[in-house]
Amino acid sequence: MIIMINKLISLCFAVVLLQGCTKLDENIYDKYTSEDFYNSKEGSDVALAAVYAQIPGNWDGVGYAGADRGWYDLNSMSTDEQVIPHRNTGDWELDFARLYLRQWLPTDGFINNTWNWLYKSVFNANLAVAQLETANADPSKIAEAKVLRAFFYYLLIDDFGDVPFFTDNNVTVDKIPQEKRAVIFDFIVKEINENVELLSSAKGGVYYGRFNKWAGYALLAKLYLNAEVYTGTPRWQECLDACNKVSEGGFSLHSGAADNSHPLGYKYFELFGDVLPDDETILAIYTRVDVVGRNIFTVRSLGGSDASALFGYSGWNGSVVPKDFLDKFNDNDIRKRQFRYGASPFGPRPAGFTIYSVELNNIDNPGANPNDGARSQKFFPAAPANSGGASNDFPIYRYADILLMKAECHVRMNNAGAGKPFVDEVRQRAGLQALSAAPTLEDIYNERGFELAWEGHRRQDMIRFGTFLLPRGLVKAAQSYRLLFPIPTAALNANPLLTQNPEYN
């Protein structure tokens, strides 16, 4: 059976089969050929579910976001927005701090985990495409599998540059050729453009967390947004066009109104809870802790006794927000409530809550004091939850991002005035005033940091805006080769056709 918990939400993420709305007879494989099976609605969904199941975060670096030591940590803790410091009590090994300090190595587990997860996902996507094409399945399902594969290759070229490229699984690892980043970029763009209009336009229900047409265009917009980084040629108009296609899906910003029923006081934070609102959410990861992924981001951040006072289970005293990032937020910005610090913190204040200092003076030797660093409560735990994480869903793409992408495109095409309404809409939802003048690139860069903090976009944004290599806080300036992660040593050992990224040898 394919899991379809909570109004058919989780079909796409569960290959771990429990109970649900789609029940397959246990002898179905004896009754039908594989072509007949994958040609059926149930069979095509099984093929896709095997790919979607790779996206929710889980242990051992699996998934896009939700757990630890994988893609999310690699792309978030290498930026200015978060770090897990080594503590002077001996807690937390140096691996996380070295990400923030930009001292990663080709042998690091984060890098190997991310590489292995993405290539397992590519393999599963290739398999799904082959199964569905052989069975002459519904064209929309074949298109969905191809767009999924494009998504994983996009993440690969974003992190690693030139990478092994294959669309047929009938090849051994040691024979997979390494292809240029720009060539794979062209393949991804072509695959999306050829398939996006075949995707369903439905939102929510069984398409919650699946690549429908609007998520496909959001992915295409991301490719064009970063085209100059990937290929050397900017594609701002194409990015704007893709964003405008997303807008045809009828999306809008979710309410930012006050809400005394939410622990953080505003409806805005429903965007990071359980079952994300589909007015703004374009693509999400469905999560149910210990069943389909997990979301550790708040429990990993808060200290043990503090989490116990707040939620009834212990926290990990891990991820913190660097002071220079926190200080950029306006005190009137409701988004600042995602951070917990000081004697009068945002959110609940039960007896025994911890007072966190915003100062972070050392992260590696001898390390930070136990309560140093502001904490994140953006993903305020949704039940069921425990010390292994919560059931908060995770937004991969949402409409606020699309609006800020539109604004950026207009500014970069020397039409900043046309971009102002999009920035203002996001700012005003957060309780801020509209900009007093047309936005600059710095305005948009800062607004993206405020709006999308801890959502996995920061490294890409910092690279595109030219800030990733600059000194910041406790971090010295970095050399340009750090714009790419190294190909893992294990991958180089397995495939003699691969060449390491410059300066990592």
For the chain, give every domain's residue range.
35-253+448-494, 294-380
How many C-alpha atoms does 125 have within 13 Å on its Cβ side?
23
- In DSSP terms, 87 is beta-bridged to 368
Region 263-290 average pLDDT = 98
Tell me the pLDDT of the chain averaged across its residues: 93
Token couple for 70 = 């994988």
For residue 31, name the pLDDT band (cuts at 50, 70, 90). low
pLDDT at 13 over 80: no
- In DSSP terms, 339 is beta-bridged to 376
The whole-model pTM stands at 0.94
Q: Do 256 and 268 touch, CB atoms closer than 8 A?
A: yes
Residue 115 φ then ψ, to 5°: -60, -50
Token couple for 204 = 């929510």
Q: Which of 356, 447, 351 is nearest to 400 (CA)?
A: 447
**pLDDT tens, 392-401?**
999 999 999 9
Token couple for 286 = 């469905």
pLDDT at 193 over 90: yes
**pLDDT tens, 98-118?**
999 999 999 999 999 999 999
pLDDT at 7 over 80: no
The pLDDT score that the predictor gives to residue 128 is: 98
Q: Which CATH class is domain 35-253+448-494?
A: mainly alpha
The pLDDT score that the predictor gives to residue 178 is: 98
For residue 27, name the pLDDT band (cuts at 50, 70, 90). very low
Q: Burial level of 423, CB count in 10 A (0-12/13-18/19+)?
A: buried
Region 7-20 average pLDDT = 33
The pLDDT score that the predictor gives to residue 32 is: 60
Tell me how far the alpha carbon of residue 122 is from its chain's centroid.
17
Distance, in Å, from the CA atom of 330 to the CA atom of 80, rounded to the nearest integer, reads 17
Q: Burial level of 278, CB count in 10 A (0-12/13-18/19+)?
A: middle
